[in-house]
Amino acid sequence: DTAVSQTPKYLVTQMGNDKSIKCEQNLGHDTMYWYKQDSKKFLKIMFSYNNKELIINETVPNRFSPKSPDKAHLNLHINSLELGDSAVYFCASSQGRYGEKLFFGSGTQLSVL
Amino acid sequence: AQSVTQLDSQVPVFEEAPVELRCNYSSSVSVYLFWYVQYPNQGLQLLLKYLSGSTLVKGINGFEAEFNKSQTSFHLRKPSVHISDTAEYFCAVSGSWLTGGGNKLTFGTGTQLKVEL
């Protein structure tokens, strides 16, 4: 049983397109996150939701819009994709908005051509 | 503001040798410290964490880390590594809940541990 699952695993698209990445967790956690890992493996938080409420919103272009239909799902929609958006995007979850143990998905490799 | 420095981007080591991966942090508030491991093509997994109490913390797979407040360090060690320990290791710090910001982990840039025969 996969605890935090992301789809798709790989996403190759052209500049200017709009794409979505989906994330689901079956751990019963109430907090979910999106992290971006660049080509140098640097990981940076983008967003966090607690019980469908946005609690962390880092300095991210407004082309990125997270959506949490329920506490088990956190999707990431990206408009007008740019070359610099190419990265690996990780979804994660934890119990409680200050839960110290994060469970990560296996990542979505986004390549913008 | 918080930051994490992992000085070694790569650490090669022979199997069964000991290893230390270095991590230094800076923060103006009390922090929690973590080590995560990332195996190829996988997400991160928590190895161990320091929240409070004993400064020597033990984690999974035989790893341990020592919190040193005076040196602002949280180095990761293993007395004898195995080929399967080959992975990327990330040190992270969190303390933003003190300002109501939720759990915002700040990661270091990672250390690639390569275990050779």
pLDDT tens-digit profile of B44-53? 999 999 988 8
Q: How close A42 comes to chain B (CA, Å)?
A: 5
B34 in A contact zone (CB under 8 Å)? yes
From chain A, pick out residues whose CB is under 8 angstroms from the CB of B45.
104
Q: Do B107 and A50 touch (CB under 8 A)?
A: no
Q: Given CB atoms, is B57 within the 8 Å cutoff of chain A? A: no
Looking at residue B25, its pLDDT comes to 93
| Residue B43, C-beta contacts closer than 8 angstroms, at least 6 positions apart | A4, A90, A92, A103, A104, A105, A106, A107
What is the per-residue pLDDT for B31? 79
Q: Which of B45, B51, B105 is the best mutation test for A, with the most CBs of A within 10 A?
A: B105
A85, A15 Cβ separation under 8 angstroms: no
Long-range contacts of the stretch A103-106 (C-beta < 8 A, 24+):
A103/A3, A103/A4, A103/A25, A103/A27, A103/A29, A103/B43, A104/A4, A104/A35, A104/B36, A104/B43, A104/B44, A104/B45, A105/A4, A105/A5, A105/A6, A105/A23, A105/B43, A106/A5, A106/A6, A106/A9, A106/B41, A106/B42, A106/B43
Contact between residue B17 and residue B117 where contact means Cβ atoms under 8 Å apart: no
**8 Å CB contact of A102 and B32:** no
Pairwise CB contact (< 8 Å): A98 & B102? yes
Give ∠ CA A47-B73-A48 in degrees, rounded to 5: 10
Q: Does B53 touch chain A (CB under 8 A)?
A: no
Q: Which residue of A has its CA nearest to B99?
A: A98
Which has more pLDDT, A56 or B10?
B10
Closest CA to A99 of B19, B13, B96, B28: B96
Contact A45 B46 (CB under 8 A): no
Instruction: Tell whether the model's pLDDT for residue A1 goes beyond 70.
Output: no
Provide mean pLDDT across the span A30-58: 89
- A25 reaches B (C-beta below 8 A): no
As a whole number, the mean pLDDT across chain B is 90
Count how many Cα atoms sit within 13 Å of the Cα of residue B29 in the half-sphere of its side chain.
Answer: 11
Nearest-CA distance B33 → chain A (Å): 9
